[in-house]
């Protein structure tokens, strides 16, 4: 358990590939090993080499500890996450089959394991592709089965990679590319994670449909335009439950020019929840500037985010933004706050200190966007109600993290963090600071 007075530590592995190898990714199926015959990668299974098999695996152990969770409103917690994810990627001309099981267990979670903690032995990904060439620079891929999905920067649809059990989807996808343009059309059901073996299943409770277009008109500049339709038969906001139908329209601008990089996104949501109209929106930005010629190659980063909250309880409109299926680490490695009813500023700086070690220091401040709404965790559960307080300052966090790339496939890292309560939390009876730590070792082949 973390001792009081410390800040947060977490370890994440992202092993660098050799110069002639593709980088290992969190999705794994988007790695291109064509032209390679390295170890268990791109192995020919027939004399002509038309049928090829790529094998891989990921193993991760992560320890997290919390003192004063929910600012003293919950007992101290400390647990161990373990997961093992082998994979097989079989390709034969235009046809492909990709399979990735998962073995995921948790030990010591206070209150019992949830869907992000444990799944036992199950199928994480299993799908088939048919690739149709339409010309020298155009093609269409048709996919059906179970897969991890990451749209854009994963602010609305992500893999939930940071926690122990990623979020998978069942259904179909069409991927069309033509030169600098890519269009994804998706019709998916969220996989509900069970605690036993082979009991994960696609559920009709939460459905996702999307049209997601990306254009890269020139080098260093990209644009995303998208529509995402979301349905939840058993949604809950505050103390009210009912069906939710929500449409999200978004625009994302991203790119790199010299030292400067940017990733800015605007989202507007319309729909209805249990008969109430939905009027919500969000703006998320990340801007970085790098100094590769300076000692330790510092990189400065500023994130600024806004996600709308509900206004008055008697206005008959739901204003709370819904991030749908966001990435697991939204505002930092161990931040308890999620992207609903939030205003956030998060500056940080990272250093490459040599010997494959990087260090990052970041700070964050959080306010409620609306005093008529409470605050939420990353999955969307309300962790503190609006109450009678008109104050908006939730609190501030400082986080220190370090990563050591011990070997091409092995990475060790750690983080320490402290989240102090602001006036809103103190006025609602939550006075203690949260102290968090995490340690992780991961191997990705």
Q: Is residue 26 part of a domain?
A: no
- pLDDT on residue 60: 98
The dihedral built from the CA positions of residue 151, 155, 159 and 161, taken in this order, carries a sign that is positive
Query: Mean per-residue pLDDT for 242-255?
Result: 97
Q: Is residue 29 part of a domain?
A: no
> 418: domain CATH number?
2.40.160.100
Nearest to 214 by CA among 278, 122, 150, 129: 150
CA distances 390 to 124, 329, 358, 370, 375, Å, are: 44, 28, 41, 9, 13
Q: Is residue 326 part of a domain?
A: yes
Q: Is residue 12 part of a domain?
A: no
Residues 299-321: tens digit of each pLDDT:
999 999 999 999 877 788 999 99
Nearest to 439 by CA among 5, 114, 3, 2: 2
Over 60: is that where the pLDDT of 132 sits? yes
Kindly report the CA angle at 359 between 364 and 5, in degrees rounded to 5?
A: 55
- pLDDT on residue 18: 54
Residues 211-244: tens digit of each pLDDT:
999 999 999 999 999 999 999 999 988 778 999 9
User: In a 3-state reduction of DSSP, which class is residue 226?
Assistant: strand
Average pLDDT in the chain: 92
Q: Is residue 407 part of a domain?
A: yes
Domain assignment of residue 310, given as a range: 43-444
DSSP assignment of 175-200 equals EEEETTEEEEEEEEEEEEPPSSTT--
Over 70: is that where the pLDDT of 356 sits? yes
Query: Mean per-residue pLDDT for 317-342?
Result: 90
- pLDDT on residue 442: 95
Q: How many domains does the chain have?
A: 1
Q: Is residue 300 part of a domain?
A: yes
Residues 16-70: tens digit of each pLDDT:
455 567 888 999 999 999 888 777 999 999 998 899 999 999 999 999 999 999 9
Q: Is residue 21 part of a domain?
A: no
Q: Is residue 35 part of a domain?
A: no
Strand partners of residue 427: none
Count how many residues are written for the chain: 445
Residues 195-214: tens digit of each pLDDT:
999 999 998 899 999 999 99
* Distance separating alpha carbons of residues 229 and 96, to the nearest angstrom: 28
Strand partners of residue 67: 435
DSSP 46: S
Global pTM reads: 0.92
Query: Mean per-residue pLDDT for 266-272?
Result: 98
Over 70: is that where the pLDDT of 103 sits? yes
Residues 6+ apart with CB under 8 A from 149: 157, 158, 159, 169, 173, 186, 188, 325
What percentage of the chain carries pLDDT values higher than 90? 81
Q: Report the 10 Å Cβ neighbour count for 286.
A: 17
Kindly report the CA angle at 181 between 97 and 51, in degrees rounded to 5?
A: 25
End-to-end CA distance of the chain: 31
Residues 361-394: tens digit of each pLDDT:
999 999 999 999 999 999 889 999 888 889 999 9
């Amino acid at each position: 358990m973390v001792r009081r007075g410390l800040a947060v530590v977490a370890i994440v592995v992202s092993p660098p590939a050799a110069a002639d190898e593709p980088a290992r990714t969190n999705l794994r199926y988007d790695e291109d090993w064509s032209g390679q015959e390295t170890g268990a990668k791109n192995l020919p299974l027939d004399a002509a080499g038309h049928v090829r098999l790529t094998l891989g695996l990921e193993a991760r152990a992560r320890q997290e500890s919390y003192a004063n969770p929910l600012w003293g409103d919950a007992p101290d917690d400390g647990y161990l996450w373990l997961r093992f994810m082998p994979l097989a990627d079989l390709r034969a001309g235009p046809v492909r089959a990709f399979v990735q099981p998962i073995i995921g267990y948790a030990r010591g979670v206070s209150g019992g394991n949830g869907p992000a903690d444990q799944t036992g032995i199950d199928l994480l990904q299993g799908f088939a592709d048919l690739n149709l060439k339409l010309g020298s620079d155009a093609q269409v891929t048709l996919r059906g089965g179970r897969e991890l999905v990451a749209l854009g920067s994963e602010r609305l649809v992500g893999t939930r990679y940071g926690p122990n059990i990623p979020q998978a989807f069942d259904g179909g996808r069409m991927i069309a590319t033509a030169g600098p343009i890519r269009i994804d059309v998706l019709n998916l059901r969220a996989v509900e994670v069970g605690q036993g073996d082979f009991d994960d299943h696609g559920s009709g409770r939460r459905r996702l449909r999307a049209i997601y277009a990306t254009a890269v008109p020139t080098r260093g500049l990209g644009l995303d335009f998208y529509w995402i339709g979301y349905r939840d038969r058993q949604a809950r906001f505050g103390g009210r439950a009912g069906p939710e139908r929500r449409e999200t329209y978004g625009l994302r601008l991203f790119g790199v020019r010299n030292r400067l990089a940017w990733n800015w996104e605007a989202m507007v949501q319309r729909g209805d929840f249990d008969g109430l109209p939905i009027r919500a929106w969000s703006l998320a930005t990340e801007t970085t500037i790098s100094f590769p010629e300076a000692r330790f190659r510092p990189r400065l980063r500023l994130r600024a985010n806004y996600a709308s909250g509900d206004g008055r309880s008697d206005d008959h409109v739901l204003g709370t933004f819904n991030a749908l299926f966001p990435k697991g680490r939204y505002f930092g490695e161990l931040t308890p706050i999620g992207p609903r009813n939030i205003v956030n500023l998060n500056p940080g700086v990272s250093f490459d200190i040599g010997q494959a070690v990087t260090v990052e220091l970041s700070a964050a401040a959080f306010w409620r966007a609306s005093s008529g709404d409470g605050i939420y965790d990353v999955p969307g559960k309300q962790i503190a109600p609006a109450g009678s307080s008109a104050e908006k300052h939730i609190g501030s966090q400082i986080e220190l993290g370090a990563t050591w790339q011990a070997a091409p496939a092995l990475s060790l890292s750690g983080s320490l963090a402290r989240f102090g309560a602001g006036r809103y939390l103190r006025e609602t009876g939550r006075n203690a600071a949260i102290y968090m730590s995490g340690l992780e070792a991961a191997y990705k082949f």
